[in-house]
Amino acid sequence: MPWVVVWGFILAVSLGFWTAVSMIAGVAEPWDAAGYWTIFYPAALVLSAVLALLPRRFQWAVGAVVIFAQVPVVMVFSGAGPLLGAGIVITMVLSIPAVALSWLSGRTWRIYRGL
């Protein structure tokens, strides 16, 4: 499968996930959801690990894509406000565990498949 299709799918799923979080929680910014730390962020980490099984290379980047997909969702629902920069910095920090988890998941999958 071409890499553009794989990464397009990963991006689309990530954007869809955070859009659904915003709509379900009734908030413009996913990180404002009441269950962000207990439900949605852990679910995003699991999503990062699962989606990391798709690409052949750069599995670590899946975690960054999943977490950073919050930013365009925020911009669509609430615009580019003065705190968007702070949100991007926080998103960078939040992406670290997702990157580590997606790397580990992808690496484990490659070892399992014997690649």
> What span, in angstroms and rounded, lies between the C-alpha atoms of 19 and 24?
9
Element (H, E) at 62: helix 60-68
- What lies within 8 Å, CB to CB, of 68 at 6+ separation is 91, 95
pLDDT in tens, 28-62: 999 999 999 999 999 999 999 999 999 988 999 99
The one-character DSSP state at 28 is S
Entry pTM: 0.92
- Per-residue pLDDT at 56: 85
Domain ranges of the chain: 3-113
